[in-house]
Amino acid sequence: MQRPNYPPCGRARLRKGRTSEPGRIYLVTFTTVSRRRVFTQWEPAVAAIRALCDPSLWRNSRLLCWVLMPDHWHGLIELGATDSLSDLVRRVKGTTALAANRAVTGCTGPIWVSGFHDHAIRADEDVITLARYVVLNPVRAGLVTHSGLYPFWDAIWIDVREEHRGRSRSYRSKAFSRSQALRRSGFSRDAVGLYRFFTGLT
């Protein structure tokens, strides 16, 4: 797969977002303070994800795809009419940091750095290709052999919870297999097939 052209993470200087165009899709990246591997711990990771997936956080913006790595986060965000990108990212970071700190006794202080990378998706860029690149981050980092074994990601293209209210997936173990979990939750074979197509699993 060709590597999408979006801003690097690593040691590059993070910057504050400079544009906010309603309806535009942005690829956003932000890192933990001093690149601490906060989210190798199960409890703060799950707490942050629960906060991240709260619909009230997004208002009229949409989170299309995301992955939580041990020391950074990537997400594809469709910006709503009433949000600026900077305000939205500030809200996401504040809410997830508060949740993660509360999950660990005695843990306080900032988790995320103040800046972030953003890349406005151009009309000639394929969103699905970018999303697949995002969710395959754990594989490229050597954390897992395929993305189905990494629990901390999601994408709207495989999210069938709207059709199955009350049977949403949970993050239960580090050996979590999404395709197996979809079947256990009673989701259709088509949904499992879409998951495999989206992540490139065989």
**Can you give the CATH number for the domain in which 64 is found?**
3.30.70.1290
Quick check: 77 and 63 in contact, CB under 8 A?
yes
Asked if residue 94 belongs to a domain, the reply is yes
Q: What angle do CA 82, 165, 197 make, to 5 degrees?
A: 85
pLDDT at 197: 52
The closest alpha carbon to 64, from 27, 38, 22, 17, belongs to 27
Is residue 40 domain-resident? yes
CA 127/CA 25 separation, integer angstroms: 9
Tell me how many domains the chain contains.
Answer: 1
Q: Is residue 68 part of a domain?
A: yes
Cα dihedral 93/94/97/103 (nearest 10)? -140
CA distances 160 to 49, 81, 115, 153, Å, are: 18, 25, 33, 15
Range of the domain at 66: 25-143
How confident is the model at residue 8, as a pLDDT?
A: 45
Instruction: Give Cβ neighbours of residue 11 (< 8 Å, ≥ 6 apart).
Output: none
Look at residue 20 and tell me if it is in a domain.
no
**Does residue 137 fall inside a structural domain?**
yes
For residues 149 and 176, the answer to whether their CB atoms sit within 8 Å is yes
* Residue 151 forms part of a structural domain: no
What's the pLDDT score for residue 200? Answer: 56
- Per-residue pLDDT tens listing for the chain (202 residues): 444 444 444 434 444 445 689 999 999 999 999 999 999 999 999 999 999 999 999 999 999 999 999 999 999 999 999 999 999 999 999 999 999 999 986 777 899 999 999 999 998 899 988 999 999 999 999 999 988 888 899 888 875 443 333 333 443 333 334 444 444 444 444 444 545 555 555 3
pTM score, whole prediction: 0.74
Note whether residue 202 is domain-resident. no
173-191 burial: b if 16+ Cβ within 10 Å, else e: eeebbbbebbeeeebeeeb
